[in-house]
Amino acid sequence: MASLAHDDLVSFWVELFPYSSCASRVWELRSTVTAYHACYVALAEILVADVATLKVRLSRASGLAASSLCRLSRQRRGLNSHRQPRGCAP
């Protein structure tokens, strides 16, 4: 089992983006969200991608241009993976 997980990790494709590409937007968001979350939001805005989060504060933050920012719901026993989150593209 561990060797399968290791093989998956080795073959996992990751694309890195330089911070400089979203630094100015992260700075603009400094009073609205944490720098950590601002990086995700800024990159999503650049890539025109969806952002799904469990963080209520992030999903309600004002001034975010990410049009498809949506909050996933959490049930008592983990994520509700059976329903499409409201506001997220299928």
For 26-66, the pLDDT digits (tens) are 999 999 899 999 998 999 888 888 888 888 788 778 877 75
pTM of the predicted model, to two decimals? 0.66
Q: Rounded to an integer, what distance in angstroms lies between the CA atom of residue 22 and that of residue 25?
A: 5
Q: Say which DSSP state 54 is in.
A: S
Each domain of the chain, given as residue ranges in start order, spans 2-73
Question: What pLDDT, on a 0 to 100 scale, did the predictor assign at position 89?
Answer: 52
Question: What pLDDT, on a 0 to 100 scale, did the predictor assign at position 23?
Answer: 96
Q: Rounded to an integer, what distance in angstroms lies between the CA atom of residue 44 and that of residue 65?
A: 9
